[in-house]
Structure 1
Amino acid sequence: MGNRQNVMIKGTKDGFILKLNDQCGYDVLKEELIEKLSVQYKALDDDHVISAKIEAGNRFLTEEQSEELKEIVRSQKSLIVEEIHSNVITIDEADQLIREREMSSIAGIVRSGQVIEVEGDFLLVGDVNPGGMIMAGGNIYILGTLKGIAHAGCYGNDEAVIVASQMLPSQLRISKHLNRAPDLENNNEQETHEMECAYIDESEQIVVDRLQVLRHVRPSITKYKGGM
């Protein structure tokens, strides 16, 4: 009986989820997967392709095992594997996550033609001159004037933000979104030295606003648990 529960198949509106027991041996799991798929999908129309997602739980799958499971599912001509999800990551993946969550910082000026690129958050104590550029996988914080280009979330993070003591950029980029330099004519508000932030709003546009809105639009940006 326990053997029959090593693979559970659940139908959803988007296709099928194949839940794999993470407590049994891989060979036992593979045999049951082959058996259950051959029985369950024997009568399906080969011309109608259905997506399947594999959930491996706390089982680590090597690249070879992942490809083997995909091939087993693909052998049922009506199924295609869209994703394999596991709670276990490799050491390289863990190191990458750590780097993406780290804060890098520099005190100085980013000059014209200079490009600073980091994988996580970036703090600059200084200015970004016209022609200078900062690229960060996470958020960008500038304790100074931004006159050059800032690209936050450059690896595809739409939740990233850009903060500057004075926001006078030649260009703002967040993830794949781009915002050209604002029109500064007759805009005396730019002469104030109030810190500002840039983020992607619900309409998928980059907007620049007062820093105070940040805790409302990105409440997860701080880990402080006090009563602010």
Structure 2
Amino acid sequence: MENVFLRGRNDGYEIEIPAERNFELSLQELTTLLEKVRAEDTSTREIDFKVRTGRRILTDEQRQRLYALVGQFEHFKIIEVTADVMDQTTVAALLKSKALHFVPQVIRSGQEVFYEGDVIVLGSVHQGATLMASRNIYVVGAVEGILHAGFPDNSEAIIAGDLRQAAQLRISDLVEIVADQPEIQGQQFTYIDDLHNLATAKLTDLKKIKPKLFQQLEEQ
């Protein structure tokens, strides 16, 4: 077989359909291989197949035909189809999650604003307003409301800047009331420490505490 490869696994079989091969011929050869598997294994147990397509993303029609072909054989089931490249939807979501947003406007009391990615607050967040980001929040403007970084469950996020006037700081599922934390002074950053508590440190300690994040900032 030149257009498709079938390999046995502990939990079933792996089907490889190389991207450079003709898909029609791959299906024809796959039919022959599946017939051979069926002839050698006449049990009623369910046999799982994982499909690899290399650097080719199957179209909806190709996926349907592939599933239909394997489904012709009783107790045969495709449990996974993966490629070595990402589809447009996945790429778009990834780029969106890594975006950097500048927020120059005022977020007023009662408003709740969410951004995918990092946020630099240039404007102001009024008391009673909430600014949320899936990653980090960097404060340049005035904040009197609530800042929620790492929404909803990113515990690696930080909130950095002059945080003294903020009402609350939230990262992932943790909440800090700033008025209850007199150690929050000047230019600092809040993060989740190894004990899963909110902690505050000087911005000069960012490199030591968050070396990966510091390196990313240097590269931007």
Q: 1:114 aligns with which of 87, 103, 111?
A: 111
Q: Secondary structure at the match of 1:37?
A: helix
Q: 2:55 aligns with which of 52, 55, 58?
A: 58
Q: 1:197 aligns with which of 190, 193, 197?
A: 190
Corresponding residue for 2:5? 7
Shift in Å, 1:183? 7.9
Q: 1:98 aligns with which of 74, 95, 99?
A: 95
Shift in Å, 1:66? 1.8
Equivalent position amino acid for 2:137 in 1: I
Shift in Å, 1:56? 1.0
Q: How does 1:158-169 map to 2 (within 5 A)?
A: 158=154, 161-165=157-161, 166=163, 168=166
| Whole-Å separation in 1 of the counterparts to 2:182 and 2:20 | 65
Which blocks of at least 5 consecutive residues in structure 2 are unaligned?
Answer: none
Corresponding residue for 1:150? 148
Contact 1:153–1:160 (8 Å) recurs in 2: no
TM-score (norm 1): 0.70
Structure 1 residues 18 and 133 mapped into 2: Cα distance closer, same or farther (>3 Å)? farther
TM-score (norm 2): 0.72
| Whole-Å separation in 2 of the counterparts to 1:68 and 1:159 | 42
Structure 1 residues 163 and 180 mapped into 2: Cα distance closer, same or farther (>3 Å)? closer
| Stretch of structure 1 that moved more, 57-66 or 124-133 | 124-133
Equivalent position amino acid for 1:117 in 2: F
Structure 1 residues 209 and 32 mapped into 2: Cα distance closer, same or farther (>3 Å)? farther
Shift in Å, 1:130? 3.8
Corresponding residue for 1:208? 199
Shift in Å, 1:48? 4.3
Q: Verify: 1:181 aligned to 2:176, yes or no.
A: yes
Corresponding residue for 2:18? 21
Equivalent position amino acid for 2:97 in 1: E
Deviations 1:62-98 (A, max 9, x none): 1221233233344444444333222344455544443
Q: Verify: 1:81 aligned to 2:78, yes or no.
A: yes
Q: How does 1:42-53 map to 2 (within 5 A)?
A: 42=39, 43=41, 45-48=43-46, 50=48, 52-53=49-50
Which blocks of at least 5 consecutive residues in structure 1 are unaligned?
Answer: none
Shift in Å, 1:58? 0.9
Aligned length: 212
Contact 1:197–1:214 (8 Å) recurs in 2: no
Provide the identity percentage: 18
| Whole-Å separation in 2 of the counterparts to 1:16 and 1:139 | 43
Root mean square deviation, CA, Å:
3.5
Deviations 1:87-122 (A, max 9, x none): 344455544443333211012442221222333322
Shift in Å, 1:145? 4.0
